[in-house]
Amino acid sequence: MAAKSTRKVFYGSLVHATSLRHIQALPRALIGVSEDGVIAWVLDDVDSASIQDAMISRGWQIEDVDFIELGFGQWIMPGFVDTHTHAPQYPNMGIGGQYELLDWLKNVTFPTEAKFEDVEYARKAYTSVVQRVLDCGTTTCCYYATLHLQATRTLADICHEKGQRAFIGKCNMDRNASETYQESSPAQSLADTETLISYINSLTDPLIQPILTPRFAIACCDDLLTGLGSIASQHPDMAIQTHISENPSEIAFTKELFPDCETYASVYDKFGLLREKTILAHGVHLKDSELDLIKSKGAGISHCPTSNFNLRSGIANVADMLDKGIKVGLGTDVSGGYSPSILTAIQHASIASKVLAFQATSPSDPTSSTFSKKQLPLSTLLYLATMGGAELCGLSSVIGNITPGKQFDAIQVDLMKGGVEGIWIEQELGEELGTPSKARLLEMLEKFLFCGDSRNIRCVWVNGRVVGGAQK
């Protein structure tokens, strides 16, 4: 992990979502970050001549800090939170799009994941994966590993070494996978899970947390789910991640395996796995009763639109989830999703909401404050990618926006970076630059979210330490 840093002061534009409906855009912000990586203060509308006086008012001297002044087309914003991805699936990202979920798992994904029994292979793959994810601006990531204990420990080691904030889960899967890729027994699965929890806790790194990971209900017998529920009860603050209602065939199979459960969501509830910090990926075909149950338990949904489109699973109605007050974040779901970037998830979340809006059988009420039957606005998309993910992971008091007292998990965006085909800035036309207005800053944010890529992410910080970005 990077060495402890000195205090930092950033001067320039700041953009972050403070609610589902509001983006705060500050063209002349002054941000102080302590040597411990905590945001000490944020000042608005500071002119360049007043920087030193503003710092002195906070008891800071400019000669004692790393001072970073941002140029036109650059700004600080929160790092992205990826609430659902599969680290061992990066090698098969972008292939298998001809399949739907269950056939895709059988023919593409399980054979790839089986390779991670080789720990050296896992080390090489995961080293590349974690750095790619960081360079995409994802400062917090919820990783599914494989069923292999040692390889999963290796993933935790790499996240620790590289300084990423991460939730690491070993997949629990003792049935309905494949003859060569499936755990031998519930007892072995549970023992390996407890060993992994102890190992991650022994790292004494607050950035790295274990997360219980029953792959999905189909892959876990009753004894395994019962045991995981017992582990969950022993660790009431531990996060849980799994899949739910992604594909109609998956849902039908789940009902066959658990005939005593009325719904898919009630399976997880029966075994004590539906609670605060339970992250349910997809939720494409959830019934209203399931949404109500998820809300009542404090769980939430990882919206994975790229994967949902790619594997023809359907479109999750995020607008209705938000109207019910359910927590929602975004997930890349590599490799059902074919991009490691949350930017792609943002773009596809926008498209998904527009498709649902124009498919609505009755018009939306333009005067209503609800999200239903409407496209998701820019503020909501940014919120889901940052603060929404933080809420889902139980980290809303720690990260998600640039607020004093939170840790500085952030990215520096640079639209002036050349070679990004979709980015068009006034400089190309010879127009005068300067400090952008708030309206112009919001336009540039939208341009970045829909036309930018990792080349526009100049620097990435986790807890105040540089961990990635195009300039690293």
Listed in sequence order, the residues at least 6 apart from 225 whose beta carbon sits closer than 8 Å to its beta carbon are 214, 217, 267, 271, 273
CA distances from residue 294 to 268, 281, 307 in whole angstroms, order as listed: 10, 12, 22
Q: ∠ CA 328-330-336 to the nearest 5 degrees?
A: 130
State the pairing for strand pair 165-169/208-212: parallel
pLDDT digits (tens, 9 = 90+) for 50-95: 999 999 999 999 999 999 999 999 999 999 999 999 999 999 999 9
* pLDDT interval class at 1 (50, 70, 90): very low
Residues paired with 165 in a beta bridge: 140
- Mean pLDDT, all residues of the chain: 95
* pLDDT interval class at 427 (50, 70, 90): low
pLDDT at 252 over 90: yes
At 421 the pLDDT is 79
CA distances from residue 333 to 49, 86, 231, 395 in whole angstroms, order as listed: 47, 6, 25, 20
Helix axes 149-162, 119-135, angle to 10 degrees: 40
Residues paired with 413 in a beta bridge: 75, 457
Query: Hunting for tokens 């005593």 — which residue is that?
Result: 260
pLDDT at 325 over 90: yes
Distance, in Å, from the CA atom of 8 to the CA atom of 459, rounded to the nearest integer, reads 14
pLDDT digits (tens, 9 = 90+) for 446-455: 999 999 999 9
For the chain, the three-class secondary structure string (H helix, E strand, C coil) is CCCCCCCEEEEEEEEEEEECCEEEEEEEEEEEECCCCEEEEEECCCCHHHHHHHHHHCCCCHHHCEEEECCCCEEEEECEEEEEEEHHHHHHCCCCCCCCHHHHHHHHHHHHHHHHHCHHHHHHHHHHHHHHHHHCCEEEEEEECCCCHHHHHHHHHHHHHHCCEEEEECCECCCCCCCCCCCCCHHHHHHHHHHHHHHHHHCCCCCEEEEECECCHHHCCHHHHHHHHHHHHHCCCCEEEEEECCCHHHHHHHHHHCCCCCCHHHHHHHCCCCCCCEEEEECCCCCHHHHHHHHHHCCEEEECHHHHHHCCCCCCCHHHHHHCCCEEEECCCECCECCCCHHHHHHHHHHHHHHHHHHCCCCCCCCCCCCCCCCCCHHHHHHHHHHHHHHHCCCCCCCCCCCCCCECCEEEEECCCCCCCCCCCHHHHCCCCCCCCHHHHHHHHHHHHHHCCHHHEEEEEECCEEEECCCC
Distance, in Å, from the CA atom of 276 to the CA atom of 271, rounded to the nearest integer, reads 14
Distance, in Å, from the CA atom of 378 to the CA atom of 280, rounded to the nearest integer, reads 24
Q: Say which range, 341-355, 365-379, 421-435, has the weakest mean pLDDT.
A: 421-435
* pLDDT interval class at 429 (50, 70, 90): low
Residues paired with 166 in a beta bridge: 141, 208
Bigger pLDDT: 362 vs 377: 377
Average the pLDDT over 113-125 and give the result: 98
Query: Hunting for tokens 């990004």 — which residue is that?
Result: 420
* pLDDT interval class at 431 (50, 70, 90): low
Q: Say which range, 22-26, 191-195, 332-336, 356-360, has the weakest mean pLDDT.
A: 356-360
At 3 the pLDDT is 47
pLDDT at 363 over 80: no
pLDDT at 175 over 80: yes
